[in-house]
């Protein structure tokens, strides 16, 4: 009896990860109460070290200064909230990351830009659609409110912890329930910034 031809081997495409990479204070704030992030800005040496690890996160206007060029290495997509996008608009930029496909969660209209898309509605469902589509990993740029809405979709958290206490401000994640992560690694960058990486645990783990 013939068993027929073997089934063709099909390789599943790798699943994209949603990576929350953000700078934070020692007490867990990514900005002051008014949204100001200037106290968490890195000096040139520290910024260069962070961008060497994450070149795709370098804004367009700084890529030449830091010697960054070419196509994305890990992230080809960035997701952010309206407040995170606001400084770029204030600087007259339609997008700080035109080398990435950018999704902005906002109810407001955005300037025309072929690399940029406005999101409303069920944001978690939209992220799941992105993760199921071909491409590189997805950078969740911020802020805390958006991270809270997407917390169940976050696969990795990468925190650049600055040696400063803010006392109050915008938390790393706002309004989310319990979610457990496993520590993967920590390293110290120039300027005393500690980069810590965490991977999400499977549900129930």
Residue 138 per-residue DSSP state: E
CA separation for the pair 159, 176 (Å, rounded): 17
- Are 194 and 186 contacting, i.e. CB atoms less than 8 angstroms apart? yes
Tokens of 59: 């804004």
Predicted pLDDT of residue 4: 45
Whats the size of the chain, residue-wise? 205
For 7, residues 6+ apart whose C-beta sits below 8 A from its C-beta are none
Q: What is the mean pLDDT of residues 97-124?
A: 93
pLDDT tens per residue, range 36-47:
898 898 888 888
**The pTM is what?**
0.90
Q: By the 8 A CB rule, do 105 and 129 touch?
A: no
Whole-angstrom distance, CA of residue 205 vs CA of residue 199: 12
What are 200's two structure tokens? 């999400």
């Amino acid at each position: 009896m013939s068993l027929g031809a073997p089934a063709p081997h099909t390789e599943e495409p790798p699943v994209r990860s949603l990576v929350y990479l953000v700078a934070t204070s020692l007490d867990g704030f990514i900005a002051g109460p008014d949204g100001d992030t200037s106290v968490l800005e890195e000096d040139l040496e520290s910024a260069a070290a962070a961008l060497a690890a994450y070149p795709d996160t370098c804004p367009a206007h700084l890529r030449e200064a830091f010697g960054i060029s070419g196509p994305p290495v890990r992230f080809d997509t960035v997701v952010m909230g309206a407040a995170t996008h606001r400084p770029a608009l204030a600087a007259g930029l339609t997008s700080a990351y035109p080398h990435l496909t950018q999704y902005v969660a906002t109810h407001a209209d955005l300037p025309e830009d072929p690399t940029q898309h406005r999101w409303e509605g069920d944001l978690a469902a939209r992220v799941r659609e992105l993760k199921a589509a071909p491409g590189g990993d997805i950078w969740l740029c911020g802020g805390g409110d958006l991270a809270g809405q997407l917390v169940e979709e976050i696969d990795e958290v990468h925190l650049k912890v600055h040696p400063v206490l803010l006392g109050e401000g915008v938390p790393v994640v706002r309004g989310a329930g319990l979610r457990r992560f496993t520590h993967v690694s920590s390293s110290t960058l120039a300027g005393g910034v500690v980069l810590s990486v965490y991977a999400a645990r499977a549900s129930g783990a």
